[in-house]
A and B are shown apart, each in its own frame.
Chain A
C-alpha cells in the first residue's frame, strides 16, 4: 500500500511538474541555506580551532591596560628580565613559560648576501608549548638563554633562502644587534605547521628564533609578557592572580595590567559563530515554515482538483485512512524531494565557497539524512490538514463534483 502511495504521489508530481517544482522551491531555498550556512560555519570553526591549536591553547599575553595610561607608559611599568624570572618563580607550576615578547627586524648577512629577518626572542622550552617543529638540530636551550650565547634557529624556508639548503645547522649568520654586527651560529631549523594564515601569506619575510637575552637592547625591558600557562589550570582565575601580583610588584594601581588568553579568544570567536548560526537557523526555520505553508496551499488546491477522483476511490472501497495516506505521502514526497534538491544545492554552495577560500571542506553525511528527514516531517505536518479534508469528503458529494 505504501509503495502504491509512493507511485501515485510520484505520478501526481510528474503530471504537474512546474507546479510541483515551484512548491518545492520554498523547501529547496530553506534547506540549501541551512546546509550551506552550517557547513561553512563548521568549516570556519574548524579553521579557527586549528589556528588556536597551533598557537597553543594555553598561550597568554600580559600587558599594560592602555585605558590607565595617560600619555606614555612610564619606564617603571616595564618588565625587566629579572622580574620575568621572579614571576616564573612565584607562579611555578602554573606559569610554565614566559618571555619578554621580543620581536624585532634585523639585517641578516650570509657571505655577501644581505636580507632582512624577523627575530623572535624566546626563552628555553618554547618548543614545548608553541607549534614549533624542529626538523634539524635543536631549539634554543637554557644555556643559550642564561649565557646570552649567539645562537639562532631558522625557519626552514629562510634557511633555504639564506644557505641554499634546508639543513643549515652549523652555519654562521651575521645579525646587527644594537648597531653592532654579531655572528650567530645556526643550531637548528624548524618548520611551521601549515595554517590558513601562512598559506595566504606570500611575503618573502625570513623568520628565526634567538635567545631573548641576546635580543637588541631597545626591546628590553618589555611592555608585554608572552607566556604559557600549565594546561590544567583555570585560565581566567590564574591570569587574574598574575595581573594582580604584577601590579603589586610594580607598585601600580590594581588593574594596571591586563591579559588576553588564546583559550578565551577562541571561546569568544566560537560563541560569536554560535550566535550567528542560531540567528541564521531561525531565518532558515522561517523559510521552511513558508515552504511548508506553500505545500499546504498547493495540496489544498490538489485536493479540490481531485475531488471527483477521491469520490471514485471511495466508491471503490478506499477507506478514510487510505485517502489520508495517499495525500500525506504526496506532500511528504514533494517536501522531501525539495529537501533533497536543497541539500545537494547547499552542499554544492558550501563546497564551492570553501574551495574558493582554500579551506578543506568536510561534511557529515548524516546532515543529508537529517535534512531530507526533516523536510519530510515538514511536508507531513503541513499535509495533514489537506489530507484530512480529502479523507473526510462525502463520496456522493465528491462523485457529483464537476
Chain B
C-alpha cells in the first residue's frame, strides 16, 4: 500500500485584516492507503482547518500537500473541484443532502459533475443505496427519512465516483447512539472490505475507537498520533 496523503510543512493562517490567526501550525503528516484514521480535538483546535485542506476545499498558506501522488497545494478552483469529484468522498455532520431532491438524485449528483450518462448514474446510485440498506427508500425526499438514513444516503453519495478516500466530519454528531454505531459500522466495513481510506473528525472518544489510528489536535498542532494494535508513534513534532 502506498501513501495517499503526504503533508510537508503544511500550515494555515487566516488574515482577518488586523490580526493573523495561525489556525494550523506547520504540520508533517503521512496517511497510507487503506488506513482508518480519526482526528480528535476540541473546537478551535485546528482539526476542521486540517479537514478543509485535506478535503481540497481550502489551500494551505504554506507547505506541500500530495494527494494520491499529486501536488494539490496550488491548484485552481476548477482543478480542485475535479479532484474533489474524483478522489474524495465527503460525509458531513449535518448530512448536507440537497433538499426536495430524492435520495436517488442526491446520490447521482457527483456523477452528474463527472459527466456519467444518466443510465449508468441511476444504476450506480441504486446499487449504492442498496448497499447502505436504503433500497426501499430510493425516491424518498431528505425530509421523509430519519437522521441515520440521511447519513447513509450521504455515504452512498460520497462513494458514487469510487473515490480512494472518504472524509467524514463529525459524521455521528447529529445522530443517536444506535444510529451512530450503524454508521460507524458502514465506515469500518468500507475500510476493511474495500480498502477505502477513511479519515474522520470527531470529538467523541468512543467513535474514534472505531479507527485504527487516532490523531489528537490542540492549538493548531498534533499532540498525539496513536496507532492501535500496540503500535505508538508518539508525539509528532511540528
A contact set with B: CB distance below 8 Å = 1, 4, 11, 15, 308-309, 311-322, 395-396, 399
Tally of contacts, chain A with chain B, CB under 8 A:
58
Contact B115 A1 (CB under 8 A): yes
Q: Given contacts A4-B112, A395-B57, A396-B57, is CB(A314)–CB(B98) below 8 Å?
A: no
- B155 CB-CB contact with A under 8 Å: no
Q: Which residues of B contact A399 (CB under 8 A)?
A: 57, 92, 96
Contact B84 A315 (CB under 8 A): yes
Q: Given contacts A312-B98, A396-B57, is CB(A317)–CB(B52) below 8 Å?
A: no
Q: Given contacts A1-B112, A316-B110, A317-B110, is CB(A308)–CB(B96) below 8 Å?
A: yes
**Which B residues between 38 and 70 are near A, CB-CB below 8 angstroms?**
52, 55, 57-58
Contact A316 B77 (CB under 8 A): no
Q: Specify the chain B residue showing the minimal Cβ separation from A322.
A: B113
Task: Give Cα A257 to B98, complex, Å.
Answer: 83
Contact A309 B99 (CB under 8 A): yes
- B86 CB-CB contact with A under 8 Å: yes
Task: Give Cα A11 to B100, complex, Å.
Answer: 9
Q: Specify the chain A residue showing the minimal Cβ separation from B121.
A: A4
B contact set with A: CB distance below 8 Å = 52, 55, 57-58, 77-78, 81-82, 84-86, 90, 92, 96-101, 109-110, 112-115, 157, 161
Contact A309 B98 (CB under 8 A): yes
Contact B78 A320 (CB under 8 A): yes
Q: Specify the chain A residue showing the minimal Cβ separation from B78.
A: A319
Q: Which residues of B contact A4 (CB under 8 A)?
A: 112
Q: Specify the chain A residue showing the minimal Cβ separation from B154.
A: A312
List 13 additional contacts besides A316-B90, A317-B113; criterion CB under 8 Å.
A1-B112, A4-B112, A315-B55, A316-B113, A317-B82, A317-B114, A318-B81, A319-B78, A319-B81, A319-B113, A321-B78, A396-B52, A399-B92
Contact B81 A15 (CB under 8 A): no
Q: In whole Å, how far is B63's beta carbon from the nearest beta carbon of chain A?
A: 18
Q: Specify the chain A residue showing the minimal Cβ separation from B112.
A: A4
Task: Give Cα A395 to B113, complex, Å.
Answer: 15
Contact B99 A316 (CB under 8 A): no
Task: Give Cα A15 to B143, complex, Å.
Answer: 15
Q: Given contacts A317-B86, A319-B78, A320-B77, is CB(A312)–CB(B58) below 8 Å?
A: no
Contact B82 A319 (CB under 8 A): yes
Q: Which residues of A contact B90 (CB under 8 A)?
A: 315-316
Q: Which residues of B contact A315 (CB under 8 A)?
A: 55, 57, 84, 90, 96
In the complex, 25 of the A-B residue pairs with CB atoms within 8 angstroms, ordered by the A residue number, are A11-B100, A15-B100, A309-B98, A311-B96, A312-B97, A312-B98, A313-B98, A313-B113, A314-B84, A315-B55, A315-B84, A315-B90, A315-B96, A316-B109, A316-B110, A316-B113, A317-B82, A317-B84, A317-B86, A318-B81, A319-B78, A319-B82, A319-B113, A395-B57, A399-B96
Task: Give Cα A315 to B168, complex, Å.
Answer: 13
Q: In whole Å, how far is A10's beta carbon from the nearest beta carbon of chain B?
A: 13
Q: Given contacts A395-B57, A396-B52, A396-B57, is CB(A318)–CB(B113) below 8 Å?
A: yes
Q: Given contacts A1-B115, A309-B99, is CB(A316)–CB(B78) below 8 Å?
A: no
Task: Give Cα A316 to B92, complex, Å.
Answer: 12
Q: Given contacts A1-B115, A396-B58, is CB(A316)–CB(B100) below 8 Å?
A: no
Q: In whole Å, how far is A289's beta carbon from the nearest beta carbon of chain B?
A: 32
Q: Which residues of A contact B52 (CB under 8 A)?
A: 396
Task: Give Cα A399 to B91, complex, Å.
Answer: 12
Q: Which residues of A contact B115 (CB under 8 A)?
A: 1
Q: In whole Å, how far is A6's beta carbon from the nearest beta carbon of chain B?
A: 13
Task: Give Cα A317 to B77, complex, Å.
Answer: 10
Q: Given contacts A11-B100, A396-B52, is CB(A316)–CB(B85) below 8 Å?
A: yes
Task: Give Cα A210 to B157, complex, Å.
Answer: 94
Contact A316 B157 (CB under 8 A): yes
Task: Give Cα A319 to B86, complex, Å.
Answer: 13
Point out which of A4, A311, A317 has the most chain B C-beta atoms below 10 A from its C-beta.
Answer: A317
Q: In whole Å, how far is B84's beta carbon from the nearest beta carbon of chain A?
A: 5
Q: Which residues of B contact A311 (CB under 8 A)?
A: 96
Task: Give Cα A255 to B77, complex, Å.
Answer: 80
Q: In whole Å, how far is B60's beta carbon from the nearest beta carbon of chain A?
A: 14
Q: In whole Å, how far is B25's beta carbon from the nearest beta carbon of chain A?
A: 20
Q: In whole Å, how far is B80's beta carbon from the nearest beta carbon of chain A?
A: 9
Q: Which residues of A contact B101 (CB under 8 A)?
A: 11
Q: Given contacts A308-B96, A320-B78, A399-B92, is CB(A313)–CB(B84) below 8 Å?
A: no
Q: In whole Å, how far is B162's beta carbon from the nearest beta carbon of chain A?
A: 13
